[in-house]
Amino acid sequence: MVGEAELFREFFRQAFAAARGQGAGEELLFWVLGSALASMGKRMGEHLIRLGMARMIRERLSGKVIDIGCGTGAFTLYFAAKEGVEEVVGIDREVRFEAAEKAAGRLGLPVEFHAVDFLEYRPKSPFDHAVLLYVLHDLDDPGLFLGKAMHLVRGGGEILIGDVDFGTLRDRIAASCEGKGLALEITELGELETHGKRAVAFGAVIRR
């Protein structure tokens, strides 16, 4: 099994190489990376909570998984490295997956990526788990994404959520589950400041 540090280190190597391949010189790369690290302190709590969400989600994964709104694909790789996971499909629009794809190849991980609108995505078969990590709080209508995810998960499968609530998100998730025979469990993970506001971090499991 690939360890956490080894996995993220390989992703970093490939991301660095991809940026160099796109014409970024060392001065630009070290400025961007140095600035990100220098400002990391004020967001350290948020980063740790987000990594904790990913770890909680990963523990439940097995079989075929879809990672919705996967961004650069770093956590998609992390999920694919879990024992018992057969395949992970990462979905996001207008994202370059070059670094994650190369890291997956180097590490032998069962991953594929699609740069498409999730609401228009049509898989060939259902998934055992759908992951929504730090996605729903950015959406005007999270119910649309949840409804789509519910249709993509097989009976007995789960939708796994890690996110932050600025006031109504947990209620909107609960409303999306009402009258559909779904079991919903929400766990509060603590408060944090993000996007210039106070929010409650939480995890949720929706079982079909």
Q: What is the pLDDT at residue 55? A: 97
Q: What is the pLDDT at residue 34? A: 94
How many CB atoms sit inside 10 A of residue 143's CB?
15
Whole-prediction pTM: 0.95
For 81, the 3-state DSSP assignment is: coil
Q: What is the pLDDT at residue 96? A: 85
The CATH number of 4-207 is 3.40.50.150
Q: What is the pLDDT at residue 99? A: 95
Q: Could you tell me the two tokens for 137? A: 């709080």
Q: Could you tell me the two tokens for 117? A: 């609108």
Which residues does the chain have with pLDDT short of 70?
none
Closest CA to 129 of 95, 86, 185, 164: 86
Q: What is the pLDDT at residue 196? A: 86
According to DSSP H, which parts of 22-156 are helical? 26-38, 44-60, 74-80, 98-107, 142-152
For 170, the 3-state DSSP assignment is: helix
Tell the residue number behind the tokens 């993220």, with chain if given.
8
